[in-house]
Amino acid sequence: MTTLEAPDVKPQTRLAEVLDLQRAAFLRDGAPSLNERRDDLKRLIAAIKENVDAIATAISADFGSRSKQESIVADTWPVVAGARNAAKHLPGWMKPKSVGVGIELLPGRGRILYQPLGVVGIVSPWNYPFQLAIAPLVAALAAGNRVMLKPSELTPRTSEFLAGFLAKLFPEEKVATVLGGPEVGAAFSALPFDHLFYTGSTEIGRRVMRAAAENLTPVTLELGGKSPCIINADADLAAACRSIAFGKLLNAGQTCIAPDYALVPKPMLGDFVAGLEAAIRALYPTLRDNPDYTSIVNARHYARIARLVDEARERGVRVVEINPAAEKLAPEARKFAPTLVVDPPADLAVMREEIFGPVLPILSYDAFDDAIAFVNARPRPLALYYFGVGTAGRDRVLARTTSGGAAVNETLLHVAAENLPFGGVGASGMGAYHGEAGFRTFSHAKSVFLQSRLNATNLLHPPYGRAADFMRKFLVGR
């Protein structure tokens, strides 16, 4: 564990020392073997299983209230599943790949070797503070790298837990956890890593990319944005409402791929609002003392969400607050009631900003292509959700829109499919991980040309004469 919050410690100096330590170890030891990588992953899996309750307790303490079951489903299970998947498939991922070189270069052969990049930096966010720190760590270790991790200062108990947890499993020269606030984060992003992986807001992502550019450090940015739900006229409305309510209210909406707004055919608007109300009441019959309903992470984020709803009310937009037991929700407890904002104008903040809370704008549309055009007129989202029975509408939406990922007749669960790359596009991010995609992200694909002892390379060398004319006709004219 490396703590840089003391005033007499310069972040840049201590961070550089840890980076130098890891880089020297990487150069000394070289790429770890398959067995070493598997051992690292299996040790990590075992430790997570032993600490499931401690992880959930730390996260709940940071949020004020968060369900143990929710933390298992959203923070620990995906990491264990990802590590198991990596350990199982590593032999195939690591295997050199033979490729053709073309008839002109025969009898030469081509091969791609996958090598670890070296020292990787990971900056993780607060909303899923265990999963979004450890999942990229799994991919980086599977690819054979050393890792420096900077978890969020907004979830200090989980970050402290992570530091102690990882220090027991790995020496600092393999995995080092760096604790600190924004100053440390800025210094961390400016280090000359071999790869920098950031999960968080688009605004901070831009700063991270600017800092990395000074060192020509390649980056993966896992950002967010406004992920739409498109409901077609043939959708199973009750099933769609259940799925959207679950996806929106998991972690109280503090999820990068949470449904951000819904597009509904105008004749179905009333039924959709009523269906969502019913689905939410079934999921959360009470709010105030319900351990299943998560608090907003801090007072600043609570106030931001409240401002979004207040602005809609002030503009005369229909706002539906769903508080099944009609409880008084004290702001200091930060339990924000599920709220629907019906047909808000596009200039409202709730339609311009990523919500990251239990508030769902619902917009009605006249023609199906109007919904597609609405999505395409905005920055490309991290996720897109489509609800409909037939294949024509589904295929049209998938073909005509661009998003980081998509799910049909479901929300969120595509993130749990390890064989599907997870990542954004455009404003919602760049690069991907999970499964083999994560291994490739943290690997260098080295191209190797293997020349045969008997070859015709001399025909390509000067002095050029009749042989060169023959080769020109062969190479260009065929």
Q: Which residue has the tokens 């930096």?
A: 121
DSSP state string for 394-435 = HHHHHHH---SEEEES-SSGGGG-TTS-EE--GGGEE-EESH
Tell me which residue of 7, 2, 34, 32 sits closest to 18, measured CA to CA. Answer: 2
The CA distance from 177 to 101, in Å, is: 44
Q: Which residue has the tokens 């961070």?
A: 15
What distance separates the 2 farthest-apart alpha carbons in the chain? 93
Catalytic one of 70, 229, 241, 256: 256
Catalytic one of 70, 222, 354, 436: 222
For every residue of 202-270, which 3-state class applies, written as one string? HHHHHHHHHHHHCCCCCEEEECCCCEEEEECCCCCHHHHHHHHHHHHHHHHHCCCCCEEEEEEEHHHHH
Instruction: Tell me how crowded residue 281 is: count the other CB atoms within 10 A of its CB.
Output: 16
User: What is the number of H-type helices and E-type strands within the chain?
Assistant: 17, 19
Answer whether 418's CB lies under 8 Å from 79's CB. no
Please return the burial class of 213, using the count of CB atoms within 10 Å of its CB with bins 0-12, 13-18 and 19+.
exposed
Whether 256 is catalytic: yes
Instruction: Tell me how crowded residue 434 is: count the other CB atoms within 10 A of its CB.
Output: 28
Token duo for residue 260: 């951000």
Q: Could you tell me how many residues make up the chain?
A: 478
**Per-residue DSSP letter, 99:** E
Residue 186 CA: distances (Å) to CA of 123, 182, 190, 191, 377: 10, 6, 6, 9, 33
The CA distance from 354 to 47, in Å, is: 35
Whether 241 is catalytic: no
Which amino acid is it at 3?
T
Token duo for residue 32: 């770890």
Instruction: Tell me how crowded residue 268 is: count the other CB atoms within 10 A of its CB.
Output: 17
**Per-residue DSSP letter, 96:** -
Residues with catalytic roles:
222, 256
